[in-house]
Amino acid sequence: MKKLLLLILTVLSVGSIDAKGQVYAVGDLHVIIINEEAWIYEYVGNSAGISIPAQLTLYGKTYNVTGIFESAFAGNKDIQQIVFPETLKEIHFGAFADCENLWILNFPESLTKIGEYAFTGLKHLQSLCLPNSELEIGNYAFSNCESLFFILVPEKVKSFGDYVFSGCDNLLAAYFLSTSGPAYSHMSFNDIALGTELYYPKGYYDSYSDMWGFSYAYGRTKPAVGLNFVQASGAGTIQLRASAYGYFGATIESIEWESRNEKVATVDQNGRVTTVGPGITDIFCTVTDSNGESESAYCTIKVPENSGVEDVEIAENAIVEYFTLDGLPAGVDRSILAPGIYIRRHGREVSKIIIK
């Protein structure tokens, strides 16, 4: 059961400097100072939720927290969610490797580097919304995240190393917003799930034509939207955030939230979900851009008999797909379908339509 207690890390005490002359104890954090900036060197706690502070004061001097050192949280089985500060610039090699239960990530737009193997082995990570920053992502950074199915890559993301999503066997779709595309190698997206779909700005296929590993590619103009879990708690509340971007510079004009079964859970227009009674419901988020185009994403909330949040699943982005009556794929573009009867699938909603 995902019942999380959010721990706000503050300066509780400053321990003695170790033999290296540069490691400080700050609560459950061990911190080092590099070029007048604070880096998280090691985490020794066992909290399920962590919020890393933007600044730390040591011996009367204040430092911005800008980095996570290699293997700082590696192998921790307790962490389920982490909130990074807006000052963070770099996450180094294997910093969160094999944190099996870590499933909530919130990256700031100050982030410029994710090192090799930084988030490998996050078995419960489902949706990855990268920050809109000049971000460089190292080899195998998100490899073996076996539940990951959705990736959103904003316009400013700079580059991908090799095998970034290797072993992500349930990956369904990746949305890229840049017309020029990030830098990548032929190996960047190798060894991902068979059938993974690539979405890119319509008319800019050449920027993505060598992106091996994806089974299908579609140009699009509709906004890209993914859901981030900002915080969950045992009190039966979940804070969701929509990561939404328009293509070709379109701005997001509106974000609307809806629960399909308010007897199970409600959601307000700030994305805060409150459980009501046992059952299952989908929480939809629909965004509309300045061109008047809309797109939705949704997640599934499961509430057990004794209330509280039992499980949360981010469902696949609610893409509209068409099939023949025999169940054969007919594509995602209604305008090119021949006259006839088709099956229309939008997320979990299935209906028959007639094309004249």
For 20-29, 229-238, 268-277, 333-342, which range has the lowest pLDDT when averaged over its residues?
Answer: 229-238
pTM higher than 0.95? no
pLDDT in tens, 235-258: 678 888 898 999 998 999 999 999
pLDDT in tens, 108-143: 999 999 999 999 999 999 889 999 999 999 999 999
The mean pLDDT of the chain is: 86
pLDDT of 332 over the 70 cut: no
pLDDT in tens, 150-168: 999 999 999 999 999 999 9
| Percent of the residues in the chain that have a pLDDT greater than 90, as a whole number | 63
- Whose CA is closest to 178, among 137, 141, 224, 138? 224
What residues form DSSP beta bridges with 26?
14, 29
